[in-house]
């Protein structure tokens, strides 16, 4: 039988024929894709390398240095100070502090027996320090380099050696107030140590020490290294031989006259070079902490006093240079000079009668000096005082120099009486350095030189030489010659005769001044004796000022200070090989 049912239609969708890429195309593009991926990876890696190795290199280097290198400060050596003869006056020395860490000491008895001779200490005392302390203990005062090396050679467990730098002054108290000192931190205090502190100190350096990861030192590296620059060396005008003479003569005079102290300055008036400078009481800069403040300051430049009759040299110079007097000008000295309600009298309360200007210097007459001031008048007198820089610092290369005190017309403290008292050194205050510098202008033919202490500075291989500096012409050469001749003649049989040395022409003037009491008057029976002199008078090699504070066996400068000039000049003539002058006024 035939099947007449129709066949049911199918629900399945017809499957489209699959498309395939040509084999040739696939083989061509695949290498390019792989190459692109490789280039992209390489570019990324290169970028990271550039970032870390180039852009971040300084930062990473700094981090590495911080982790593996220590930067240590390298202290410079402080500059040395020498006198004109090359003698060492100040230097740095290395000393050693010796400590003990008792808990590390293995054999205290043996350690004490070995250490005691080196430390110059008692063995029992050292043993007690090693056994009775639980903390690090200082065993002795600082040791010198030789003893420090002995301790190092012993290599004892628990013994610690620490080097320290100390300022040393090989000549002890010599020129102490001129030099000053450097403290335990090597900072300059007083004197040249203070005024040249920055140059003497030098510049600290840096040193890097590389370490491994365990902290052990590998070697000294160059990372950030800056070498230390040692301080400058100073070469002074100070002559060691002259300085020794000055200090010896001053010390003898202070003892002889039972004085409170004194000051001596010796200077070359041609250059302003200070050859010697000393004051008493002084101090030893190696033990500066043991002395009172008054011993540390330099009276030559920081102390002011009324100069007394040595000031008459300047008054006479002003009178001669302005032509209001000549050496032969004469006055009748009655022993009193009255101005306003004040009567000025001579130091001896006596009258000298008719006398020339040379005799005014010879007698050191206050009345005569007042007479010259009257002829000068206010304007001319103070004009010359300013030319001589009275009331001004000298500018010497020492710290804290005092300018002094000169009341001028128009000041509240000035009156017409000052004109006359200033003429013979009262009512005016100056430093010893100012007085010798001003009178030094007369010795130097009218030209004043700026005083100086440092002649050469040697720093970093360079040598800087200080040349003499002219502070100004104050009087003519003719005036200076005339006044020098007056001083030479007035010293013979005059107040300054005890300063003279036979066979030499010496220009000299004494001074005796009172000490203000702070209440407008003066202390009773307290004086300052002084003498200023230069020689050979007409071609001077040196000028000297001697000041004796409160001599108790005599109140006069002619008795206390003038003999010191004699002793000093006698030695200086021999030292400088200055032969006697057959035609000298004082045979």
Band (pLDDT 50/70/90 cuts) for residue 7 is: very low
Q: Is the pLDDT of residue 533 over 90?
A: yes
| Rounded mean pLDDT, 38-63 | 62
Q: Is residue 39 part of a domain?
A: no
Rg of the Cα trace of the chain?
A: 42
Q: Is 551 among the domain residues?
A: yes
Determine, yes or no, domain membership for 110.
Answer: no
Print burial letters for 445-477: b (CB count within 10 Å at least 16), e (below 16). bbbbbbbbbbbbbbbeeeeeebeeeebeebbee
The pair of structure tokens assigned to 246 is 């000055």
Given 236, 271, 300, the domain boundary residue is 236
Which helix (H) or strand (E) is 487 found in, with range? Answer: helix 477-491
Q: Are residues 307 and 190 in the same domain?
A: no
User: How confident is residue 8, by pLDDT bands cut at 50, 70 and 90?
Assistant: very low
pLDDT at res. 45: 67
> What burial class does residue 294 get, using C-beta atoms within 10 Å of its C-beta: 0-12 exposed, 13-18 middle, 19+ buried?
exposed
Question: Which of left, alpha, beta for 69 (phi over 0: left; psi -120 to 50: alpha)?
Answer: beta
Both 402 and 506 in one domain: the answer is yes
CA separation for the pair 237, 481 (Å, rounded): 27
Longest CA–CA separation in the chain, Å: 194
Are 514 and 435 found together in one domain?
yes
What digits encode the pLDDT tens for the residues 426-448?
A: 999 999 999 999 999 999 999 99
- Domain boundary at 190, 214, 236, which? 236
> In this structure, are 232 and 276 located in the same domain?
no
| Residue-wise pLDDT tens digits, 444-456 | 999 999 999 999 9
How confident is residue 580, by pLDDT bands cut at 50, 70 and 90? very high
**pLDDT 10s digits, 230-263:** 899 999 999 999 999 999 999 999 999 999 999 9
Give the per-residue pLDDT at 461.
Answer: 87
Contacts 24+ apart (CB under 8 A), 457-461: 457/199, 457/232, 457/233, 457/234, 457/235, 458/232, 458/233, 458/235, 459/79, 459/199, 459/231, 459/232, 459/233, 460/229, 460/232
Of 151, 137, 135, whose CA–CA distance to 95 is shortest? 151
- Top mean-pLDDT range of 30-44, 68-82, 129-143: 129-143
Rounded Cα–Cα distance for residues 303 and 445 (Å): 28
467: domain range? 240-575
The whole-number pLDDT of residue 53 equals 61
Q: pTM score, two decimals?
A: 0.82
- Regarding whether 402 and 281 lie in a shared domain, the answer is yes
DSSP 436-453: HHHHHHHHTTTEEE--BS
140 — pLDDT class (breaks 50, 70, 90):
confident
Peptide bond connecting 502 to the previous residue in cis, omega within 30 degrees of 0: no
Is residue 56 included in any domain, yes or no?
no
Residue 186: pLDDT band by 50, 70, 90 thresholds?
A: very high
Residues 171 and 318 in one domain: no
Tell me: do 224 and 253 sit in the same domain.
Answer: no
In this model, does residue 11 exceed pLDDT 50?
Answer: no
Are 266 and 487 in contact, with CB atoms under 8 Å apart? Answer: no
Pair of tokens at residue 121 = 């200490």
Domain annotation covers residue 58: no
Backbone phi and psi for residue 29, each to the nearest 5 degrees, phi listed first: -85, -25
Token pair, residue 368, equals: 């005569």
Residues 525, 546, single domain; the answer is: yes
- 412 and 352 co-located in one domain: yes
Cα 282-283-287 angle, rounded to 5 deg: 175
Q: Which residue has the tokens 């000491």?
A: 105
> Which tokens belong to 441?
């202008």
Q: What pLDDT does 4 receive?
A: 40
Report the CATH number at residue 302. Answer: 3.40.710.10
Residue 583 inside a domain? The answer is: no
DSSP type of residue 51: I
* pLDDT (0 to 100) of residue 95: 86
The residue ranking higher by pLDDT, 211 or 503, is 503
Tell me the pLDDT tens digit for each residue of 158-169: 888 888 889 999
Question: Same domain, yes or no, for 261 and 376?
Answer: yes
Asked if 89 and 211 sit in the same domain, the reply is: yes
Tell me, yes or no, whether 546 and 456 share the same domain.
yes
Domain holding 134: CATH number? 3.90.1310.10
Strands (E), 65-125: 69-74, 81-82, 88-100
| Higher per-residue pLDDT: 53 or 281 | 281
C-alpha 80/C-alpha 458 separation (Å) is 10
Q: Which of 168, 167, 173, 170 is nearest to 246 (CA)?
A: 173
Question: Residue 133's pLDDT is what?
Answer: 76
Domain count, the chain: 2
Which of 220, 236, 252 marks a domain boundary?
236
For 168-235, give the secondary structure using H, E and C: ECCCCCCCHHHHCEECCCCCEECHHHHHCHHHHHCECEEEEEEECCCCCEEEECCCCCECCECCCEEE
Q: Is residue 492 a part of any domain in this protein?
A: yes
Residue 512 counted as domain residue: yes
């Amino acid at each position: 039988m035939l099947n007449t049912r129709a066949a049911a239609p199918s629900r399945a969708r017809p499957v489209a024929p699959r498309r395939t890429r040509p084999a040739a195309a696939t083989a061509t593009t695949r290498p390019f894709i792989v190459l692109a991926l490789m280039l992209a990876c390489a570019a990324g890696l290169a970028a990271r390398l550039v970032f870390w190795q180039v852009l971040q290199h300084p930062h990473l280097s700094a981090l590495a240095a911080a982790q593996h290198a220590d930067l240590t400060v390298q202290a410079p050596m402080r500059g040395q100070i020498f006198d004109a003869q090359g003698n060492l006056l100040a230097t740095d020395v290395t000393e050693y502090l010796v400590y003990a860490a008792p808990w590390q000491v293995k054999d205290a008895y043996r350690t004490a027996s070995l250490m005691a001779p080196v430390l110059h200490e008692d063995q029992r005392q050292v043993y007690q320090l090693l056994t009775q302390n639980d903390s690090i203990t200082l065993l002795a005062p600082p040791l010198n380099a030789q003893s420090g090396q002995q301790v190092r050679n012993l290599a004892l467990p628990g013994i610690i050696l620490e080097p320290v730098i100390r300022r040393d002054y090989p000549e002890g108290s010599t020129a102490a107030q001129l030099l000053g000192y450097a403290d335990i931190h090597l900072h300059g205090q007083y004197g040249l140590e203070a005024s040249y502190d920055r140059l003497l100190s030098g510049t600290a350096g840096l040193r890097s020490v590389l370490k491994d990861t365990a902290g052990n030192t590998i070697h000294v590296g160059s990372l950030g290294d800056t070498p230390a620059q040692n301080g400058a060396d100073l070469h002074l005008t100070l002559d060691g031989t002259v300085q020794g003479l000055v200090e010896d003569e001053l010390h003898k005079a202070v003892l002889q006259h039972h004085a409170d102290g004194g000051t001596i300055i010796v200077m070359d008036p041609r250059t302003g070079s200070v050859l010697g400078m000393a004051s008493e009481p002084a101090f030893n800069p190696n033990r500066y902490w043991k002395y009172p403040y008054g011993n540390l300051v330099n009276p030559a430049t920081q102390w002011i006093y009324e100069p007394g009759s040595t000031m008459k040299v300047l008054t006479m110079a002003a009178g001669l240079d302005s032509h209001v007097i000549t050496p032969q000008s004469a006055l009748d000295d009655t022993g009193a000079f009255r101005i306003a309600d004040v009567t000025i009298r001579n130091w001896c309360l006596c009258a000298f009668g008719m006398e020339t200007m040379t005799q005014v210097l010879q007698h050191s007459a206050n009345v005569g000096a007042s007479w010259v001031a009257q002829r000068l008048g206010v304007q001319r007198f103070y004009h010359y005082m300013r030319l001589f820089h009275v009331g001004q610092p000298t500018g010497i290369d020492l710290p804290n120099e005092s300018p002094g005190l000169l009341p001028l017309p128009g000041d509240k403290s000035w009156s017409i009486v000052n004109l006359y008292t200033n003429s013979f050194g009262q009512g005016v205050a100056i430093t010893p350095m100012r007085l010798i510098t001003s009178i030094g202008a007369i010795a130097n033919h009218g030209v004043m030189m700026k005083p100086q202490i440092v002649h050469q500075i040697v720093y970093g291989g360079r040598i800087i030489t200080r040349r003499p500096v002219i502070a100004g012409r104050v009087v003519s050469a003719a005036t200076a010659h005339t006044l020098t001749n007056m001083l030479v003649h007035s010293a013979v049989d005059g107040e300054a005769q005890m300063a003279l040395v036979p066979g030499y022409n010496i220009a000299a003037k004494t001074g005796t001044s009172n000490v203000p009491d702070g209440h407008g008057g003066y202390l009773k029976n307290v004086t300052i004796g002084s003498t200023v002199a230069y020689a050979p008078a007409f071609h001077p090699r040196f000028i000297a000022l001697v000041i004796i504070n409160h001599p108790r066996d005599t109140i006069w400068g002619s008795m206390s200070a003038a003999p010191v000039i004699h002793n000093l000049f006698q030695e200086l003539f021999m030292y400088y090989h200055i032969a006697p002058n057959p035609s000298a006024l004082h045979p």
